[in-house]
Amino acid sequence: MSPTRAPRSAEQQIARYLRLSVIVAVVTIALKTLAWRLTGSVSLLSDAMEGFVNLAGASFALAMVWLARQPPDKEHPSGHHKAEYFSGGFEGLLILLASLVVIAAAAQRLLAPQPLEALGWGLLLTVIGSALNAGLGVAMLRKARELRSVALEADGRHLLTDVWTSVGVIVGLAAAGLTGWMWLDPLIAIAVALHIASEGLKLLHRAANGLMDRAVADPVRADIDLVLARFANPAVRFDHVITRDAGRRLFLNLHLHLPPDWTLARADELRREVEQALATQLPELSVGIEVLPLGVEPLAQRMT
């Protein structure tokens, strides 16, 4: 009987998908660059440029996921989980830069339209590359929801954005080939670039929110409140509940107020029960509980 293989950790699964994204990016770059060379279409050039952004984004995300896996140290006692937000921000910047390059090239072609060649082969290669991106993008978003990975979500959304822009390019070029309206080619490229830019801004916004210690999402906060409500009663009170979302890790700090005549052992037992209940409900949650007598607040709280 062969030995059972240990399940991959979340970090290993994320890294595996990102390595696959790098491979797919290289393949689609080759396909779409060849499509551009065959046709001379500036809109296919914009599609190929998006492939280079995919490659750079996935490579950077892979590096950030490795950094996020590093254990806490003296300078980073809460770990390095926010590193994934840098990958989302970096990818957003790359998308914006790519859109500017495409707009510049399309503007020149719009002023001087050129005929397209071998359009059938170019569109076929683009369809193949887009199909690869679509399959991987859907799989990455599904895994991102499961693992709460910002890096996977950013890369998956970027791949699906590439698919939709490729669909627009394919439809537009087919129309240009049928009608002979060559100005459609640069016009489509500009539309694609503007769409790409909007996605880049969304990624930058999400990364900025994550780096500014955003509170956990409402459904997660509802789960936390539900657990705390099971323990709360006139003799037990929770307050100053502060949450923080750090990528795949969530942090919770709160005050647990107990009657002043409770022994330390009894107070510690209840604190452990609360921590265990929260960990069962939200395994990715790191909890810090400060135990205080009822009617007492820390000096820092009294001064605010």
Architecture of the structural domain at 218-303: 2-Layer Sandwich (3.30)
Report d(CA 284, CA 278) in Å as an integer. 10
The secondary element (H helix, E strand) that includes residue 16 is helix 10-39
pLDDT at 249 over 90: no
Report d(CA 163, CA 169) in Å as an integer. 10
pLDDT at 3 over 50: no
Q: Select the more confidently predicted residue: 226 or 66.
A: 226
Report d(CA 44, CA 37) in Å as an integer. 9
Average pLDDT over residues 179-201: 78
pLDDT at 5 over 60: no
pTM assigned to the model: 0.57
Q: What is the pLDDT of residue 68?
A: 64
- pLDDT single digits (tens) 124-150: 888 998 899 999 999 999 988 888 777
Q: Looking at the domain 10-211, which fold is it?
A: Alpha-lytic protease prodomain-like (1.20.1510)
Q: What is the pLDDT of residue 76?
A: 65
| In the chain, ranges of CATH 3.30.70.1350 domains | 218-303
Q: Which of 17-31, 50-64, 162-176, 190-204 shows the highest mean pLDDT?
A: 17-31
| In the chain, ranges of CATH 1.20.1510.10 domains | 10-211
pLDDT at 20 over 50: yes
Q: What is the pLDDT of residue 298?
A: 66
The contacts of residue 158 (CB under 8 Å, 6+ apart) are 53, 54, 57, 91, 95, 137, 199, 203
pLDDT band at 8 (very low <50, low <70, confident <90, very high): low
Mean pLDDT computed over every residue of the chain: 79
- pLDDT single digits (tens) 87-112: 667 777 877 887 787 787 778 777 77
- pLDDT single digits (tens) 237-248: 998 899 887 666
Q: What is the pLDDT of residue 85?
A: 67
